[in-house]
Structure 1
Amino acid sequence: MSGGTVASVPEGLLDEGVWFRVEAAGTAAAVRRTAERLAADLAIPESRIADLSIVAAEAAGNLVKHAQQGVMLVRAVRTPEQAGVELIAIDSGPGIADVAHALGDGHSTAGTLGIGLGAILRQASRWDMYSLPGKGTVLAVQVWAQHSPEAPWSAGLTRPITGETVSGDAVAAREVDGRRQLLVSDGLGHGGLAAAASHEAVRVFLQAPAGSPAAVVETLHRTLGHTRGAALAVAELDPVAGQVRYAGLGNIAGTVFGPDGTRRGMISMPGIAGHQRRQIREYDYPMLPGAVVVMHSDGLVDRWNPTEYPGLLTRSPEVIAGTVLRDAGTRRDDAGVLVARLP
Structure 2
Amino acid sequence: MSARGELLTMDCEDVAWFRDQPEAARGSAAALGRRIGLGETRTAELVLAVAELTANITKHAVNGSLLLRVLRNQDVAGVEVVVVDGGPGMADVPAALRDGTSTAGTLGIGLGAVRRLADSFDIHSQLGMGTVQVAGFWPRSSRPSGTGEVVVSGITRAIGGEEVCGDAWVARVDTGEETAPEHRQDTGPRRVTGLVPPDRSATTDTRTPGERLFGASPGSDALPRSGAKHRSVPVRAAVAGPGRGTLVMSCDGLGHGPMAALAAQAAVKAFRTGEPRTPEQAMERVHRALRGTRGAAVAIARIEPDGRVLFCGVGNITSALVTGTTRASLISHPGIVGSQMHQLRTYENRLPARGALIMHSDGLSERWTPADLASVLHHPPALIAAHLLRQAGTRRDDASAVVAKAAG
TM-score by length of 2: 0.77
Q: Pick the aligned partner of 2:356 from 285, 292, 314.
A: 292
Equivalent position of 1:137 in the other structure: 131
Q: Which residue of 1 aligns with 2:273?
A: 207
Q: SS at the partner of 1:312?
A: coil
In structure 1, the residue corresponding to 2:377 is in which secondary structure?
helix
Aligned to 2:402: 338
User: 1:211 is aligned with what amino acid?
Assistant: R
Asked whether the 8 Å contact 1:58–1:119 carries over to 2, the reply is no
Distance in 1 (alpha carbons) for counterparts of 2:35 and 2:362? 34
Question: Is there any run of 5+ residues in structure 1 with no aligned partner, and where?
Answer: 1-10
Instruction: Tell me the equivalent position of 1:64.
Output: 58
Aligned pairs for 1:107-146 (under 5 A) are: 107-110=101-104, 115-145=109-139, 146=142
**Which residue identity lines up with residue 326 of structure 2 in the other structure?**
T
Work out the number of aligned pairs and report it: 327
Q: Aligned letter for 1:253?
A: T
Once the two structures are TM-superposed, the CA of residue 12 in structure 1 deviates from its matched residue by 5.2
Query: Does 2:98 correspond to 1:104?
Result: yes
**1:7 counterpart residue number:** none
2:72 & 2:309 partners in 1: Cα distance? 26
Query: Could you say which structure has the higher strand fraction?
Result: 1
Q: CA deviation at 1:62?
A: 1.1
How far is the alpha carbon of 1:310 from its aligned partner? 4.4
Q: Contact 1:12/1:206 (CA < 8 Å) preserved in 2? A: no
Alignment-derived partner of residue 199 in structure 2 = none
- Quick one: percent identity of the two aligned structures? 42
Judging changes above 3 Å, is the alpha-carbon distance between structure 1 residues 333 and 223 closer, same or farther for their aligned structure 2 residues?
same
Q: How does 1:1-343 map to 2 (within 5 A)?
A: 13-22=11-20, 27-110=21-104, 115-145=109-139, 146-150=142-146, 153-177=151-175, 178-240=244-306, 242-258=307-323, 261-343=325-407
In structure 1, C-alpha distance between the alignment counterparts of 2:171 and 2:346, rounded to whole Å:
18
TM-score, normalization by structure 1: 0.91
- C-alpha separation in 2, matches of 1:272 and 1:319: 30
* Unmatched 5+ stretches in structure 2: 1-8, 176-243
Structure 1: distance between partners of 2:375 and 2:94: 14
- 1:227 alignment partner AA: T
Question: Structure 2: how far apart are the matches of 1:113 and 1:162?
Answer: 30
* Residues 71 and 124 of structure 1, relative CA distance in 2, 3 Å threshold: same
Deviates more, 1:318-327 or 1:286-295: 286-295
Residues 231 and 115 (structure 1), Cα distance of their counterparts in 2 relative to 1, 3 Å cut: same
Change (3 A) 1:183 1:35: same
* SS of residue matched to 1:165: coil
User: How far apart are 1:109 and its partner, in Å?
Assistant: 4.5
Shift of 1:14: 2.7
Contact 1:214 1:282 in 2 (8 A): yes
1:215-245 superposed Cα distances (whole Å, 9 cap, x missing partner): 11111112211211111111111132x2111
Query: What is the aligned-residue RMSD (CA, Å)?
Result: 1.7
- For 1:154, the aligned partner's letter is V
Decide whether the 8 Å contact of 1:252 with 1:298 is kept in 2.
yes
Shift of 1:107: 2.5
Is contact 2:59-2:105 (8 Å) kept? no
Q: Which has the larger radius of gyration?
A: 2
Task: Note closer, same or farther for the CA distance 1:159–1:169 as it changes in structure 2 (3 Å cut).
Answer: same
Residue 105 of structure 1, CA deviation: 2.1
